[in-house]
Structure 1
Amino acid sequence: MNMFKKRLMQPKGVLARLFLIFILLFVYTADSFAATPAGYSEYYIPGDENLLADIWNSLRGRSLTAARHTVINVVAWSNNTTVYYDHWEDGYDFDPNDPSTADETVVLVNKGDSHTFESANIPVNPQVTDPVQYDGRDRLYVAGGTVSVNRESWEQALGNVFTISWDVYPVKPQMTTYILPFGEDLAGAPTNYESFVRVYALLQATEDTTVVQIDFDQDGTYDTFCTDKTRATCTPGTSVTLNRGEVFLLDNFAVSPQAAPYNVVHTGTLIKASETLQVNYIAGHDTDNYQARGFSAFPRGFWDDEYYSPVDSSNGTATYPTNIYIYNPNSSDLTINYQTSTGSGSFIVPANSTRSFQQLTGNYVPQGSGVYLQGSDVFWGVTIIDDGGPTHEWGYSLIPAFLLGDEQFIGWAPSGTTPSAANANDAGIFITPAQDNTRVFVDTNNDGTVDYTYTLNRMQTQYVYDATDGDMSDSRIWATGPITLTYGQNPATSPTAAPAIDVGYGILPGGDWIDKVLAVTKTADPVSVATTAGAQSTYTLVVDSYYYDVDGISVVDTLPSGWAYVSGSTTITLADKTQVSGVSADPADLTLTYLDRFNGTDYTNNAD
C-alpha cells in the first residue's frame, strides 16, 4: 500500500496561510469527494433578561421583577466539536487565539452529541453580574464543525406553561436590514389575527457601536422613536447605538412618538443597522395572560420559494388548530401552490403583506398532515399552534426545502417540566416526509438501537415520543428520504396545565454557516476509467485555509487497492504560486523534503 503524506514542519512561532494543490497521476474507477470544512461559528444568545421580564409584564398587565429561567442547547453535527462559552457579565473576553480564555469549554466528541447550559432564578431589574448566569447576551464560539443552537426562556414562578423558544443562528448569515413580517396591525380589521395582538422585536448587535435606525412607513425617511435602552423614560431620536450583545426592544413603548397607525408595532417596518443585527420576535396577546410565541428572523439571504411545515392540527381543526402565516416581501402579488395529505390548491398573498393559510384556503392545517408551500417568488412564514389561543400555544419558522435532510439529531426535547412515562406524550417530535413510502427510524437516546420504525407517505405527519421516560432529548431520527421535523407540545395529548410545556421549535440541521478555516477538496479526472490494466486518472487535492493562519497540517492520501503511482506525475502548487513538480516531487526513500522559499516552511512528501 502506498500512502502519500504532505506535512508542514515550521520554525517555532511561524504561521503560514496555506493554499496547496497536489496533483498526482495514478494508474488503474476513481471517486470525487466534496470539501470537508473545519472552521468556526459565533453565536450570541438572543434576548436580554430584563427586557424579557418587561415583555412578560406587558403580556400579563402587571409590573413585577420576577426571576427567570434559561435553557440553551447545542447539538454537534461533526465529531470533536468544541464549544467555548463567553458570559457577557464579565465582558466578552474569549480570544480564539487563546482558547484558555473561555469561561467554559465543552467538547462534543461525537456527531449528534448535545450539551445544555441552564440557569434558574436569574435576577432581573436589576440584573447581577456576579455570579454569572447562562442567559441572553452570552456568546458561544464553536470550533471544528457546525452545530444547531436553541434557546428557551420562561419566568421561574410561572413555569413552562408560559415559555418561548428561539432558533439561534450564527452571526455569519445575519443581516443589516430587516423588515418586520408581522405586526400588531394584523390583529385589527380586515385580518383580525388574534395571535398578533402584541408583537415585540428584539434587535441585538453583534458588533460594537452599531447604529440602528427605523423607518415605520418605508417612505425613505428614518423616523423618531424612544431610544432610551433602559426604558426609564422616552428619549426621542432617530437612532440608537448598541454595543455587541446589547439588545433594543422595539415595542409599543418604543414607537409611542408616532401617530396612528404607526403608534403600534407595524407590519413592514424597516430596520436598518450599520453592522450585522440579530433579530428575534415574540408575538402574543395581552389579555390572555399565557399567550406568547417566539420566532427567530430567518436570515433574508436564506429565504426560499419552497417550504415545509410538519405540524398538523393534531386535535382537529375545531379546537387548538394549526395555522400558517405567510409574508410576501415582494412588490407584486405572490402565488402560492400548496399541498397537504388531503388535497392541493393555490392562493395569492398580496404584495408586501402577511396573510394566513386558513383565511386564503378556508381551512386550517388538516389533522395528520403537514403542508408544502411553493411560491412564485421568495417568501417567509411562520406556523402557529393553537392559533389565537393561550392553551397550547407555540410556533416556529417554516422550514426551507433546501434544509431538508435524511438525518436529524435532536437537542433539548422534554415532554414537560418533569418528563416521565406518566406524561410521555405531552410533547414530542412531529415528522413529515417529502416522498411517498419513506421509512423513518427513531433512536430515542442515540444509543444505536432503533426504538421505532414508520413507513410514511408524502405530507403525512407522524407524532413520536419516548414512552419510556418522556424525553426525546438527544435522540436521532433518520429516513430513506428527506424529512422535516419539529419539536413541540401536542394539543391532542397534553393537559392544559403543568407539567405541560407550551413550547416548540423547528429542527434545523447544522447549516453551512461556519467561517471555514480549513478545507480539503479531492477530485479525479476522469472520474471513471476502464478496468483494464494501464488506465490512468489524475487526482487533485486542494488544501485551503482561506483567510486564516494554520500550522501543523498533514495531508494523507491512500491509494486504492490495485492502483500504482506514476513516477514524476506530482505537481505541488504552494501559497505563493510557486510549484514543485516532476521527479523532485516524487516520494523517494519514503520521505522527500523540500523548502517553500516564500515563508521558510519545510514540506515532506511521505510514501509508505
Structure 2
Amino acid sequence: MLYLSLFAHAATMMEEYYLPLPEDQWRTSFNTISPGTSMTMESISTLVIWGDGAILHYDHWEDSYELEIARPVQQSTEIWGDGNDGNGKPPGYASDPVGFSKGAVIVLWNQVSLPRDVSILYDGRDRIASTRPLSVSRAGWATIPGSRVAGAVNVSAIRDYGLRFVCPLGENVTTASGLFTYTGLLVMAQESATEVQIDLDGAGAGEAIEIVLNRGESYLADGGILLGATVEASQPVQAHLITGKRDCYCYMTRSYTLYPEDQWTDGYTCPISTTGKSYVFVYNPNAHPLTIHTTSIAGTGSFQVDALSVSSWEMPIRSGARFQSDGNDPFQALIAVNAQLYAAHMWEWGASLVPDAALTAEAIIGWAPGSYDLTENDNPVLVAPTAATRVYADFNGDGQGPLVDPKGGRYDAGYDLNAYQCQMIYEPDNDQTGMRLYTMNNVLFAAAWGNHSEGFRKDTTYPYELEIGYIILPASQLSLQKECVTKEDLGMPGVSVGDILEYRVTVFNNGLRNLEAIGVRDVPHPSLIYQANSTRINGNSIGDDAAGTTLFPLDESGYLIPSLDRNKTAVFSYMVKVGASGTLDNTVSVPDYGLESEYVLEVPETEGEAPLEGEAGAYGIALDACAIIPNPAGLNQSVTLSGLEGRCHGAAEDELLKVAVGFRDASGTWAGGEPVVVYSGIPGTAWQSWAATAVLKAPEAAGNYAVWVRNTPSVDTAGAIQDFKNADPLSANGIRDDSWDSALTVEDATVEGESGEGEFPSEGELLVYGITAESCAFQPSPVNPGLPVALNGLGGHYHSGAVGETIKVTVGLRNASGAWTGGNPVVVWSGKPGLAWQAWSGSATLTAPALPGDYVAWVRNTATTSDKEAIEDFKHAVPASADETRNDRFETALQVALSYGVTLTACTYAPNPAAPGQGVVLNGLGGRYHGGAVGETIKLTAGFRDASGAWAGGEPVVIKSGTPGVSWQSWSGNAVLAAPLAAGSYGVWVRNTATTNDADAIQDFKTATPAVSDEERNAMWNTAVLVRAADEGEAPEGEGEYLEGEDAGGEPEEGAPEEGEDEQPPPACCGCVSTCDKESGTPREPGHWLGDLLLLGAALLVLCILQYRYSLLSQRYSNNCNCLGASSSRSLSSCRESTCKMGVFSNIVTLKICRIL
C-alpha cells in the first residue's frame, strides 16, 4: 500500500523480498530424498536490477528485522547503491556504486554450516528492499553429494504473495520415473502472527496442519503433499514445492515456485526443450474438464485435462510451446526437465511456466554459470520467441559487442528464429551471468537457464555439473502511482471537510516495447465527491460518463488507454471534494497487468463546518498593493515586487502565520521562480496589515503569470515556501490565497547575466569556464532525511567559454566523494556572461538526501539552453575537487540526521516505596515529543530501568501513540507497572519509537540501554522508585501497599516520600518508624515511648500466634499472597479478578504471613 501525506512523501521502497528456502529446511528436504546429505549448504541468491539509479537495503535476519526497512538503523543492515562503502557494498563490487545501472547483477554466495551459529551471512530469510524493480532467484545444494541434489527457484516480491495456494503436483501423481514420490512444501510469511493452514490432501479426509509464522519465518511440510493440497493464510505468504524420488541414491530433485490461486491465468509459454524428454504438467483446478490448445514448431494440437486433475504433455525437440485453455479458464503449468525413463536423475530440474502476460522483448540473465568451476558449459540460456524474429545476445550485458543492431546498439551474436523455435545460447567464457537478450521488432519471447542434455558428456561422474535451472523473469512493463494535492483549502489546518483535492494517477511504460489497450480503473471512496468535468489525461479533457451510475469516467468499467509507447507516461488528474472525516481510501488498478496503487487519506474530525472568512477558527489573506518591476521581463530574469501591501489573520490568537509570495500560471499552479516569505508573525484572529518588498526570478517559459500570496500556519520558512508550491488554488478566496489583478508578462528573449564590476578574479581569464560559490545559508540544518531544506542567499561569479554562449548554474547536494545522492538539483541562474566574470545569485529549496550524513552544496556551470540538461549534467558529474572551472562548493556542510524528541516533565507514583512485583500506578505522566518525519507514527513507552539504564523488569506499557510531525507536541498518559523483583532504586523512563506496532515499541524499550536522559529518544523522571524486600525495614502494616480498591491516582501513601522529597530519613531520626514523627521526620518526645512499647508488645504476641498457625494459614491465604505482590507469577489485572475479597486488615495480615514465609 502506498501511504502518502499531502505535505511530505515518506521515503518508500518500490519492491521488497524475503529470501525463501532457509538452508536448514532445504537440507532436511534433500536428506529425505537422498539420505546422507551433508550439514553444509551452498546458498546462492541472485538480484537483477531493472532500473537505473537503484538503491538497495539488505536486512539480515540473524539480529531481527528493521522496524522500517526504508529507514534502517541496525549496524548489520547494508545499504547498496548510495556510493558509501561505510554502510556496505555488494559482494563482487570493488566499491559501492552511486545508483546501480539497469541490468546490474548481484550474486550472493555463502557456505552455510548447520546448525546455524550467530554469524551474519547472505542466506535464506534475509530481507531485501529496492527503489527499482528486481528479478530475484535462489539456488542451493549440500556439499555432499553436491549439486546433483540441488534446486533453484524464482522469488516473488511481497506484492505478489497470496492468501491461498493449490499444489498442482503431489506424491499421488504417478509417473514411470517416480518423479514426485517425494513432494515437500515450504511456506514463508511476510508479517508476524500469520496463521497458516496446510491441508496435505486437499479435499481429502486428513486433518490440516495449523501453524503461526512470524515475519520471515518458514515452515517445511517434509513430504506427504498430495495433488490439490492447499495453503491458506491470514496474511500474504510465498510458497515453493520440492519434488524428488524418495530413498533414491540416483539423486533426483526438482524445485518449483508456486503462484497464488488468484494469479493463475489461461495461457503460458515454455521456452525449454531437451533431447532427454521434458514434460509439461497441466493442472486443471476447475470442476469441469479442460481442453488445452498447444502451439509449437510441430504445429498446433490439443489435449484434455479432467476436472481437478493433472495431465502431462511431452515437449518437442528443439521447440518451445504455448498452452492456451479453451474458454479462457485458468490453470497451472509446470515443467519437469529431462524426465526420461531410467535417466530422470540426470540433468534434471523443474520450473513453473511464464504466463503470457509476463512475456518480454528484453531479458537479463541472473546467476547462470555453465558449471560449478566454469571449465565446462552444460547450462545454456534457452529462448523461444512467439513469432519469427531475430534475437540479439549481448553476452556480458555491457553493450560492447563487435556487432551493431539497427538502432546502433552493440551486441555479440544474433539468432534468426521461427515462432517457438528453441535456441540454446552459450557464452564463450562458460558463464551466461549478466547476458542481455532482446528483439528489435517488439516480438515477445520466453527464456530460461538450466542444465541441458543435448551436449552432455559421456563421463557422468563429472563433479561440477549444476543440475538446476529456472525461468528468466522479464522486466516490469508498467508502473502505477497515485498521488494527491490540495487544490483549494477552506481554512482548517491540514485536510478538512469541504477541501477540494486533485488526484493524479501516473501510468509509466518502463519496458522495452510499446503497449496497447491498457485498461485503468479508479474507484474513489464514497465520501470523496467527484467534481464534474474535472478529469484529464496528459492535460486533455476526458468527458464525464453520462451513461454510467456516476459521472466519473474512470470507475465502473474504467478507461482504456489506446496505446502507450515505451518510456512514455499517461497522467490522469481529477478533482474531488472531501465530504466526510475519517480514513478515506482510494485504489486505482490496471487489472490486466495486476497493478494496484492505494492512496489513504486521513481527514480529522472537525467541529461543524469549515468556518467562513472572518469567523473564529478561519484564516484570512488579502493582497492590496503590488508594483511589478520590470514588466515585461525576460526568462528567469530578476523581478522586484515593490510596495507589496496586504492583510492577514489566523485561526487562533497565538498561532504563528507566514505569508509567501510567488508566481502562478492561469491554472493556479506554481510557475517557477522560488517563492519568498514576506510576512512572519502572530496576527491573532483580527485582520493585521503587512508590507514588504520581494525579488523573485521570472518563470522560465514565456507567458502571463499572476502574483499570488498564500497564508500558511505553524511552519518554518521552508515549509511555507513548499506549501505555496504544493497548493494549486482554484480561486483567490481570501482565506488561504489571494492574487494581484495585474499579470507579469514574460517574453521569450534571453536576458543577459548581471554584470559584475570588472573581471573577477583576473586569473579566471585563463580558464575556459569559470564558477565560484561565495555565499549560502541552509535552513534548517540539521534537517531530517527527505524533508525540504532552503538554500538562501546563494551567490558567486561565473563566466563562459565563448561570447553569446548560454550558461546554466545548477545547485545540488553531494556527499563526501562528490557524488550526487538525491534531492533534485535546481537551476538557480541562467545567462550569457561571455568571457569575463559576472555575478550570479539565487535561492533554492532542495529535498534532503534519504540517508543521514554530512552533505555539501555544490554549484556546476553547464553550457546549455535546457534546464533539464543542466540538471542531468549535475547528477552525472562526480567532481574530484572544487576546481572553479565547472564546479565549486560551499564550505559549510548540511547535516542530515533523523531527529526525534521526547521529554518527561510530569509524573506521580503510588506507592513509593513498593514491594517486589507490586503494581505501581504512574499518574499524570506528561511532556512533549516529536518524530523524524511528517506523518510518521511515534509510540511512547514507559517502564523501569536500573542505574545503568537497562530495563529492570515489569512489562513496559505504551502510553501514547500519535503522528506529531517534526515539531514539538504535548503528550499525556497514565500507566500501571509491576515493580522490579529485585530490591533497589529504579528510574521511570519514557522512550520514543518510530513504529505502528505496540509490540515493536515495547521490545525497543527493553532492548535499549540509554546512558543518559538525552530527550531525543529517552527521558527519565527525576525521582526514583524504591523497591524494598521484606527484611529491609518495612513501613507499618498497610502503609505503602497497593490494595485492590484504593485510588491509585490519589495522594501518596503515608510514610512514602512525596514527589521531589528526599527519600532517605533525616539524620536526626533513628530510622525506626515508631520512634519518629511521620510528618516531620524528627524524634518523638519521651512521653510517647510508653505507648510505643505497649504497641510493640502486642505486635510480638500477634506474630507468635501467626507463627503457630503457619501451616493452617499458608494454604488458605496463598492466593492473597499472589495478589499482594509476594509472587510474580500473576499479573495485576488477574489479581483484580482473583479471590482477594478480604478487607484491608486481613490483606495486611496475609502480607505479613507471606513475608514470614
TM class by smaller structure = 0.7 to 0.9
Which among 390, 414, 420 is matched to residue 369 of structure 2?
414
Equivalent residue in structure 2 for 1:160, among 147, 166, 172: 147
Task: Compute the displacement of 1:498 (Å).
Answer: 2.5
The range that moved more, 584-593 or 97-106, is 584-593
The equivalent of 2:805 in structure 1 is none
Alignment correspondent of 1:119? 110
Q: 1:49: how far off?
A: 1.4
Shift of 1:99: 3.6
After the TM superposition, which residues 14-93 of structure 1 pair with which residues of structure 2 at under 5 Å, given as runs? 16-17=5-6, 39-62=13-36, 65-93=38-66
CA contact (8 A) 2:201 2:227 kept: no
- Equivalent residue of 2:420, what SS? coil
In 2, Cα distance between equivalents of 1:56 and 1:159: 11
Per the normalisation by structure 2, the TM-score is 0.40
Secondary structure in structure 1 of the residue aligned to 2:179: helix
More deviation, 583-592/366-375: 583-592
Name the CA distance, whole Å, in 2 between partners of 1:185 and 1:500.
30
Mapped to 2, the partners of 1:249 and 1:586 lie a distance apart of 57
Query: Structure 1's 374 and 218: CA in aligned 2 closer, same or farther, altered over 3 A?
Result: same
CA distance in 1, matches of 2:324, 2:447: 18
Give the TM-score normalised by structure 1.
0.74
**CA distance, structure 1, for counterparts of residue 286 and residue 71 of structure 2:** 46
In the other structure, the counterpart of 2:427 is: 466
Partner in structure 2 of residue 151 of structure 1: 138
Give the corresponding residue for 1:195. Answer: 179
Instruction: Name the SS for the 1:382 alignment partner.
Output: strand
Kindly tell me: are residues 216 and 265 of structure 1, through their superposed partners in 2, closer, same or farther at Cα, counting changes over 3 Å?
Answer: closer
Alpha-carbon deviations, 1:206-225, whole Å to 9, x = none? 1111111233454598x536
Equivalence for 2:229:
269
2:196 to 208, 212, 219: 212
1:290 aligns with 2:251: yes
**1:83-118 Cα distance to aligned partner (Å, 9 max, x none):** 211111111126234245462222252111111111
Whole-Å separation in 2 of the counterparts to 1:457 and 1:19: 52
Q: CA deviation at 1:127?
A: 1.6
Q: Return 5+ residue gaps in structure 2 as ranges.
A: 82-98, 402-410, 484-504, 508-536, 543-569, 575-587, 589-596, 602-634, 636-663, 674-696, 700-706, 727-825, 828-866, 868-1157
Name the CA distance, whole Å, in 2 between partners of 1:201 and 1:378. 22
Q: Residue 129 of structure 2 is aligned with which of 141, 155, 174?
A: 141
Question: Which of 503, 512, 532 is the equivalent residue of 2:468?
Answer: 503
- Secondary structure, aligned partner of 2:392: strand
Q: Deviations over 1:419-446 (max 9, x none)?
A: 14xx13x11110100012x011100001
Aligned to 1:29: none
Judge conservation of contact 1:180–1:266 (CA < 8 Å) in 2: yes
Match of 2:162 in 1: 175
SS at match of 1:602: helix
CA contact (8 A) 2:59 2:69 kept: no
Q: What is the aligned partner in structure 1 of residue 320 from structure 2?
A: 370
> Quick one: distance in 1 between partners of 2:334 and 2:711?
54
CA distance in 1, matches of 2:571, 2:69: 32
* 1:289–1:103 CA distance, 2 compared to 1 (3 A): farther
Deviation, 1:141, is: 1.3
In the other structure, the counterpart of 2:1111 is: none
Shift of 1:186: 0.5
**Where do 1:179-578 residues align within 5 Å?**
179-187=166-174, 192=176, 194-219=178-203, 223-224=206-207, 238-252=209-223, 264-286=224-246, 287-313=248-274, 315=275, 320-357=276-313, 364-376=314-326, 377-387=329-339, 389-420=344-375, 423-424=376-377, 426-436=378-388, 438-448=389-399, 449=401, 450-467=411-428, 469-479=429-439, 480=441, 481-495=443-457, 496=460, 497-511=462-476, 520=506, 523-525=538-540, 547=599
**Within 2, Cα distance between the matches of 1:203 and 1:477?**
33
Give the Cα separation in 1 of the matches to 2:149 and 2:304: 34
Work out the CA distance in 2 between the residues paired with 1:596 and 1:305: 57
Distance 1:453 1:540, change over 3 A: closer
Other-structure match for 2:963: none
Distance 1:547 1:173 in 2: 19
CA distance in 2, matches of 1:161, 1:94: 39
* Superimposed CA distance per residue, residues 229-288 of structure 1 (whole angstroms, 9 cap, x where no aligned partner): xxxxxxxxx521111211111134xxxxxxxxxxx3211112211111110111111214
Provide Cα deviations, 1:329-379, integer angstroms capped at 9, x if missing partner: 11111110001101211111111111111xxxxxx2111111111112111
Provide the residue aligned with 2:723 in structure 1: 602
- Quick one: structure 1 residues 289 and 243, their matched pair in 2 at CA, closer, same or farther if it must change by over 3 Å? farther
Note the alpha carbon deviations across 1:361-398, whole angstroms, 9 max, x for none: xxx21111111111121111111111161111011111
Instruction: Kindly state the Cα deviation for residue 594 of structure 1 after the two structures are TM-superposed.
Output: 5.6
Letter in 1 for 2:334: V
CA contact (8 A) 1:427 1:494 kept: no
1:1-44 CA-partner distances (Å, limit 9, x unpaired) = xxxxxxxxxxxxxx943699xxxxxxxxxxxxxxxx99521111
Does structure 1 retain, via aligned residues, the 8 Å contact 2:382–2:424?
yes
Matched with 1:98 is 71
Q: Identity percentage over the alignment?
A: 27
Distance in 2, matches of 1:167 and 1:151, equals 6
Secondary structure of the structure 1 residue equivalent to 2:226: coil
Evaluate the alpha carbon distance shift between residue 459 and residue 295 of structure 1 in structure 2; reply closer, same or farther with a 3 A threshold: same
> Whole-Å Cα distance in 2 between the matches of residues 141 and 435 of structure 1?
36
CA shift in 2, pair 1:216/1:466, >3 Å: closer
Q: Which moved more, 1:487-496 or 1:173-182?
A: 487-496
RMSD over aligned Cα atoms: 3.2
Range 348-357 or range 193-202, more displaced: 193-202
The DSSP-based 3-state class of the residue aligned with 2:357 is: helix
When residues 411 and 602 of structure 1 are mapped into structure 2, their CA distance, relative to the original with a 3 A threshold, is: same
Give the structure, 1 or 2, with the largest relative contact order (CA under 8 Å, sep 6 or more): 1
State how far apart, in whole Å, the 1-side matches of 2:157 and 2:479 are. Answer: 8
1:582 Cα offset (Å): 2.6
CA distance in 2, matches of 1:514, 1:525: 21
- 1:53 is paired with a residue of what secondary structure? helix
